[in-house]
Amino acid sequence: MKIFDTHTHLNDPTFSGNTQQYIDNAKELDVDEMAIIGSNEEFNIEAIRLAQNYQPLHAVVGWHPEFAKEYNEEQLVNQIKLPEVVGIGEIGLDYHWEEDPEPKIQKQVLIQQLDVAQQYNMPVSIHCRDAFDDMYEILKNHDMSKSGIIMHSFNGDVEWLNKFLDLGLWISYSGVVSFKNAPEVHESAKETPLDRLLVETDAPYLTPEPYRGHTNQPAYTRYVVDAIAKYKGITPSEVAEHTFNNAHQVYNL
Ligand SMILES: [Zn+2]
């Protein structure tokens, strides 16, 4: 079985100096390939450096809503031309934290990055927290059918799932799907068609059961696969196979 972690932050200082160790840990649990996701200038550069130095890693670069004011379009356009860069992300809207830039600025920078993605046919990894309504309106008005949109760590209910599926999105689940107190996410995972499904860790965040409370790492994508298999009533290898192939399709690998 082969698993693809479509959204992880091995470029986070939590893991620095131990990249090979975390890749080896992942391999032991059949996690063979990963997309390293940037969020600002520093993390984007580190994602690219890792992808250039470690074979199973690919880089995704972009400006997270928290860093919207630092957005540098010239840098983004130059970086996505590198062969190691397979997508733009994480980009999006986050209305949870009061200290983040105001929604108007977040939306503007999201749209600017979607325009770049559209122009260069790059898939995007979307971060969306407490902002489904605005996100839906923006994505609805952007034809991304040639590039592809991943809703990272989807935590919505089946109604939102269906709205985003209708827009042609890929739906990626993180460790949240393994949490006992997330019945809506269990139901959404069950209802997500196998040909739109992706898995991720978002490490070092969102550690799945049975390691909730500890630092997350890419290896634990395995437990996300196990949880989804349980809710779908299929085998982990079926979930792994579909999500691995889907990841290759969306990231053009
Ligand atoms: Zn992330």
Phi, psi for residue 9 in degrees, rounded to 5? -120, 60
Contacts of 246 (CB under 8 A, 6+ apart): 170, 195, 196, 197, 198
Give how far the C-alpha of residue 99 lies from the chain's centroid of Cα atoms, to the nearest Å.
23
pLDDT for the residue numbered 168: 95
What domains lie within the chain, and their CATH numbers? 3-250 (3.20.20.140)
Q: How much distance in Å is there from the Cα of 230 to the middle of ligand 1?
A: 24
Are 162 and 156 within 8 A, CB to CB?
A: no
pLDDT for the residue numbered 183: 96
Which parts of the chain register pLDDT below 50? none
Q: How much distance in Å is there from the Cα of 152 to the middle of ligand 1?
A: 8
Q: What is the dihedral of CA 93, 151, 72, 108, to 10 degrees?
A: -40
Q: How much distance in Å is there from the Cα of 234 to the middle of ligand 1?
A: 27
Are 5 and 200 within 8 A, CB to CB?
A: yes
Q: How much distance in Å is there from the Cα of 126 to the middle of ligand 1?
A: 9
Q: How much distance in Å is there from the Cα of 61 to the middle of ligand 1?
A: 11
Residue stretches of the annotated binding site for a divalent metal cation: 7, 9, 90, 127, 152, 202
Q: How much distance in Å is there from the Cα of 33 to the middle of ligand 1?
A: 16
Contacts of 78 (CB under 8 A, 6+ apart): none
Q: How much distance in Å is there from the Cα of 37 to the middle of ligand 1?
A: 7
pLDDT for the residue numbered 99: 83
Computed over every residue of the chain, the mean pLDDT equals: 97
CA distance 119 to 162: 27
pLDDT for the residue numbered 144: 84
Q: What is the pTM of this model?
A: 0.97
Q: How much distance in Å is there from the Cα of 108 to the middle of ligand 1?
A: 20
